Amino acid sequence: MTISNSLVPKYTYSLNSPIASSSTSSPIAYTFNSNSSISSTVNISGDMQVSGNIILNNSSLNYRLEYIESRLHIPARSIELEKTHEGLAKIWEEYVNTTTELERLCNEYNETLNAIKTFDIIRNT
């Protein structure tokens, strides 16, 4: 495994103790070549910025989020335009109210479904 050191402000990563922590000094980051792999847990307290794509279980996290947003028709909100276009703000408010109602209905459905499953278990024992 090839490890190269580079200076990175803010976070320290250690191979022996996989904890990321804030630091005011310039910590050392470890970069692995494409043939490397490491099984570990990284704990980060605070914000983290990633430049590039995050691959989770061989799937692009960026792609998955974009796909979910498009399938659920989640709009990209523009507060600046809402300030100058009253109709846009009203549509956003209606969207929020609709999604709140949808969430309530989903919860009601799941609670009813769980009650039915529980009743069926009790009835069949």
Residue 96 lies in a domain: no
Pair 68, 33: CB distance under 8 Å:
no
CA 91 to CA 89: how far, in whole Å?
5
Question: Which one is predicted more confidently, 28 or 86?
Answer: 86
Give the pLDDT band of residue 125 (cuts 50, 70, 90).
Answer: confident
Residue 83 has pLDDT above 90, yes or no: yes
Residue 93 lies in a domain: no
Give the pLDDT confidence score for residue 22 in this predicted structure: 42
The residue among 9, 7, 27 whose CA lies nearest residue 17 is: 27
Give the pLDDT confidence score for residue 103 in this predicted structure: 94
Residue 107 lies in a domain: no
- How many structural domains does the chain have? 1
Residue 19 lies in a domain: yes
Structural domain containing residue 15:
1-49
Give the pLDDT confidence score for residue 49 in this predicted structure: 87
Residue 124 lies in a domain: no
Residue 38 lies in a domain: yes
H-state helical runs in the chain: 61-71, 79-84, 86-123
Give the pLDDT band of residue 36 (cuts 50, 70, 90).
Answer: low
Residue 33 lies in a domain: yes
Residue 106 lies in a domain: no
